[in-house]
A and B are shown apart, each in its own frame.
Chain A
Amino acid sequence: MVELEPYSETRPRPNAGTVVAYVLLAVGSVAMFFPFVWMLFSAFKPLQEIFRMNVLPHHWTLASFRQVLFNTAFPRWFLNSLVVAGISTVSVLFFCSLVGYTLTRLRFPGRDIIFLVILSTLMVPTEMLVIPWYVMSTQYHWVNTYWGLAFPGLIPAFGVFLMRQFFLTLPRDLFDAGRVDGVSEFGLFWRIGLPLVRPGLAALGIFNFVGNWNAFLWPLIIAKSASMRTVPVGVALFSGEASTQWNLIMAASAMAIVPVLLVFFIFQRQIIEGVALTGVKG
């Protein structure tokens, strides 16, 4: 993000408005974060305490976590989510940058049309694709497979667009020089282009991992067997079956959220820059 120094930062001392801003932001933060806090602490409560109003448990217990980990398929769902999010992230990073590179740094007939076609698929909502995808999946036996779970997100058009924007900022001379030095066409992309768009790759990769970890509609459709569910689908169906066992649902939710929150707090900057890039810079 380009720091253009917003006007308010140069003021020497905090005025009344700034104090009000701090207070309002703090109040808002409590409202934004309280559900997380409550969920986390409730996961440590015994069942009889779950509907009491105390935030901190009187008796701390790991029983809910133990039950979710050992008596449900949760560990398997966790593995499935990791595999699907992992596969798609590797694919997205490689293919979106390769397409982005090709569409900016190589000159060939049909280039603009191809870009327009890819861009236009952005307007088609997932809801419109899931029915034909499901029909195809039953036909080719993709139901209950990792391929079936992962294929919709392998080369998102948004990623192509984002990486194209990054490659556009690189000077063409760089690649011409590499070509003169005898670097192969793939080498120009892999050894010269990719290292220079690392910030874009970081934003895209993290954003995509989180998006895939949270994906719900398609995994709900394609994972028919309990062992192929991802975390959001597994726990949603689990909450449908165990609607009164709130302590288990809270423990499962807490474990479902921890990986994304962890990724988010470590890579906060990249994620937020990625979001900012989606719209405002266009």
Chain B
Amino acid sequence: MQPSSPDVRPREGDPSSGPGGRRRRRLSLSARETLWAYLFLLLPLAFYGFLRIYPAVQSFNLSLHRWHVDPAKRVFLGLTYYRELVADPKLHRALLNTLYYAAIIVPAQLVLGLGIAVMLNAVRRLRPIFRAIYFSPYVTPAAAVAWVWGWMYSVNFGLFNNAIVAWDNFVTHLGLPWIQVPTLAFLSDPRQALPAVAVVVVWQQLGFQVVIFLAGLQGIPRMFYDAASIDGANSLQRFRFITLPLLNPVMVFSVVISTIATLQLFDQVVNINFTDQGGPLNATLSIAVYMYQLAFARFQIGYASAVTVLLFVLILIVTLAQLRLLQRRVEY
């Protein structure tokens, strides 16, 4: 590791330094630090190079070639797969579904997350318990979550339809049959399936948003609120003119995180309908589920790689938009 040349070897019987002591001192301090730094970074750099950067580049590469197990036999196709992407109705479906998912999940998480955080901030007793309850779905495996919800959505035996039936019986007894509610098909109906899955995602991810907003709220100095109170602002005005503007960066972060998570939606979709993933009739298909089917059920490695490159570009756009938005900080 250290350069050894014969002339720096310690003289025999030199009492002032142990073996190698002189040699170490000859090396300048900064060179020593550099050597140690690269020694410490040796394995991590190998990890990032070989298991992160190389595979990312390889994805681009695979998307330009017809797949073959032997790398020498992969035929270069150029942008053929990308042209197919543009014309692929199933991909269009997955993209539209993702937009639809985002239209439900992102606003719901923003409003509910902020609302719950503000309420948690207002209560003192029981706060740790409430916080734990709201956060617990987030640490639960998505698979387990999906099974319970799938069961609650079950058409004939599920909790929701049982509740609807109970309500209908109740109002019939009262002689008010016109406020009966029809039972719902939920996951078996192509029109209801996606919102039903979106509800599960919101339920599961909400705790994360609440914690992010709580941290943001606690970062707002109290003096702003005190000053506003002295000026006669009521609690609604304080929320509108202090909390909201000062939480702007946190809200941008929240929206970006839930948008990116929606783009990568996979676990819940696959698990809630394991025998017909993305179904019924591709009604819940997400980009990641489509990629998984292409690569690991149909072994269209090249085309699936092109889909992941598209996903990467979408995430990059969202991330860059976040950076742009965050530069416009609110000054007080």
Contacts and interface: CB of A to CB of B under 8 A. Distances in A.
B44 to A, nearest CB: 5
B79 interface: no
Nearest to A273: B215
Interface in B30-70: 30, 32-34, 36-38, 40-41, 43-45, 47-48, 51-56, 58-59, 62
B116 interface: yes
Interface in B98-134: 116, 119-124, 126, 128, 130-134
A131 B304 contact: yes
Contact of A117 (B53, B130, B140, B215): B53
B126 to A, nearest CB: 8
Given A32-B203, A264-B136, A216 B48 contact: no
B301 interface: yes
Contacts of B45: 114
B222 A5 contact: yes
Given A98-B40, A217-B266, A275-B208, A280 B145 contact: no
Contact of B34 (A35, A109, A132): A109
A38 B148 contact: yes
Nearest to A264: B139
Nearest to B266: A217
Contacts of B180: none
A207 B50 CA distance: 25
A232 B128 CA distance: 28
A25 B222 contact: no
Given A25-B123, A109-B34, A124-B52, A213 B296 contact: no
Nearest to A230: B141
A7 B309 CA distance: 47
B185 to A, nearest CB: 17
Interface of B: 30, 32-34, 36-38, 40-41, 43-45, 47-48, 51-56, 58-59, 62, 116, 119-124, 126, 128, 130-137, 139-145, 147-149, 151-152, 154, 156-157, 159, 162, 166, 203, 206-208, 211-212, 214-222, 225-226, 235, 238, 249-250, 253, 257, 260, 263-264, 266-267, 270-271, 274-275, 287-288, 291-292, 295-296, 301, 304-305, 308-309, 311-312, 315-316, 319
11 contacts: A18-B123, A51-B157, A98-B40, A101-B40, A125-B311, A127-B291, A128-B55, A214-B142, A253-B143, A256-B141, A268-B128
Complex A-B, nearest 10 residue pairs according to Cβ-Cβ distance, in ascending order: A276-B215, A132-B55, A51-B157, A7-B225, A108-B34, A21-B119, A132-B58, A253-B144, A108-B37, A240-B274
